[in-house]
Amino acid sequence: MEAIGVLMMCPMSAYLENELDKRFKLFRFWNQPQKEEFVKEKANSIRAIVGNASAGADAKLIDSLSRLEIVASYSVGLDKIDLGYCKEKGIRVSNTPDVLTEDVADLAIGLILATLRQICACDRYVRSGLWTKGDFKLTTKFSGKSVGIIGLGRIGLAVAHRAEAFGCPISYYTRSEKPDSKYKYYSNVIDLASNCQILVVACPLTKETRHIINREVIDALGPKGVLINIGRGPHVDEPELVSALVEGRLGGAGLDVFENEPEVPEQLFGLDNVVLLPHVGSGTVETRNAMADLVIGNLEAHFLGKPLLTPVV
């Protein structure tokens, strides 16, 4: 397979990059200063694209690569890939589900605890020597608080199971009620937000879910409510979130993702009731290597004429 051209869109994982380099003719897109000229020059060589949550394959790129056969995403999210156009053109698409579920769900619980107990602010308090001048202020508990989850897929369910261990009542919103679920269902996000103390965003990013967290939802969650986003940044209307936090209309937020990554609103930096992470939901060595193995496995399966391991299209 050494002659098969694979276009890697951006730096992702040294392990993935090395494994691709061993097996295929790897092109590193981010190293090309003249990207359009590069694509024209290599169009007949590139038969696969490897993308991730920040860089995928839009219609323009797909049209530029006449021999493109497969787009393998080093991510479970697919919002950077034009799925409809891939389907229309007969281009296969794969992603990396399941292997990252546990890590992302673990991080959601970590964000809840860090936000409610102000763990990061406590750490800064000790490091700055303030403890010698007095105790840290009281915070609020997690156990027993009601948790609402937007999106009850693999990750949403894993978050629910973990929150149950803390004695939390669980409710959820999805496009339609899941008949086999034991959790309380709400048919709209505003009702869900009105009836929970912690709201977790765990759904895919689509046209319908972009800014699913808007001013109305934030106000329904209220000044004692906490928002946790482990989905995608554009799920949240970021200016509305910032103003609600600054004005005290929302109790707190734990955010792993942002609308214009890696840019983060500076107004959030000084707020002790906000925890900010650099999109590390699946960011463990074990999980990222497993994701890389899935990318490699899907590419090899495709070019050997075998079924994809995790097909999307």
What is the C-alpha R_g of the chain?
A: 21
Return the number of other C-beta atoms located less than 10 Å from residue 286's C-beta.
Answer: 11
User: CB–CB of 8/20 below 8 Å?
Assistant: yes
pLDDT at 156: 98
Examine the residue annotation and report whether 232 is marked as an active-site residue of this protein: yes
Examine the residue annotation and report whether 279 is marked as an active-site residue of this protein: yes
Q: Among residues 154, 210, 249, 279, which one is catalytic? A: 279
Return the number of other C-beta atoms located less than 10 Å from residue 54's C-beta.
Answer: 14
Within the chain, residue ranges assigned H as helices are 14-23, 35-42, 59-64, 83-89, 101-116, 119-127, 154-164, 189-194, 215-221, 238-247, 285-303
* Closest C-alpha to 7, from 29, 24, 23: 29
pLDDT at 216: 98
pLDDT at 1: 86
- End-to-end CA distance of the chain: give it in Å, rounded: 22
- Per-10-residue mean pLDDT for the chain, 313 residues long? 96 97 98 96 97 96 98 96 97 97 98 98 98 98 98 98 98 97 98 98 96 98 98 98 98 98 97 97 97 98 98 96
Q: Among residues 47, 232, 235, 288, which one is catalytic? A: 232
